[in-house]
């Protein structure tokens, strides 16, 4: 990483109950990646805005920087392909 540059923020949008949300957070934590969780269980407007931004209505939704990664399986695929490290750098 270049001097003065910052890692992009990782945001995990979740709802309750959501087993895949827990798995996504566990995967990020296991990789040593910090993230911010935004629970939209009781926020219909937030859900609508997230769907407009990502194009998906499922949970979790992971956004790194300003790039929507997708849901849990998309996160797993990115991790297996080595893209997670690139996105989070």
pTM equals 0.91
Do β-strands 61-64 and 67-70 pair in parallel, antiparallel, or remain unpaired? antiparallel
pLDDT bucket at 1, cuts 50 / 70 / 90: very low
Architecture of domain 10-88: 3-Layer(aba) Sandwich (3.40)
The pLDDT tens digits of the residues spanning 26-46 come to 999 999 999 999 999 999 999
Nearest to 13 by CA among 23, 5, 21: 21
């Amino acid at each position: 990483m270049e001097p003065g540059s910052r890692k992009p923020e990782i945001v995990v949008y979740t709802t309750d109950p959501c087993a895949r949300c827990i798995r996504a957070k566990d995967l990020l934590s296991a990789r040593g990646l910090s993230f911010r969780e935004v629970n939209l269980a009781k926020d219909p407007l937030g859900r609508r805005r997230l769907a407009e931004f990502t194009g998906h209505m499922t949970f979790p939704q992971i956004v790194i920087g300003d790039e929507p990664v997708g849901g849990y399986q998309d996160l797993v695929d990115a991790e297996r392909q080595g893209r997670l490290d690139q996105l989070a750098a």
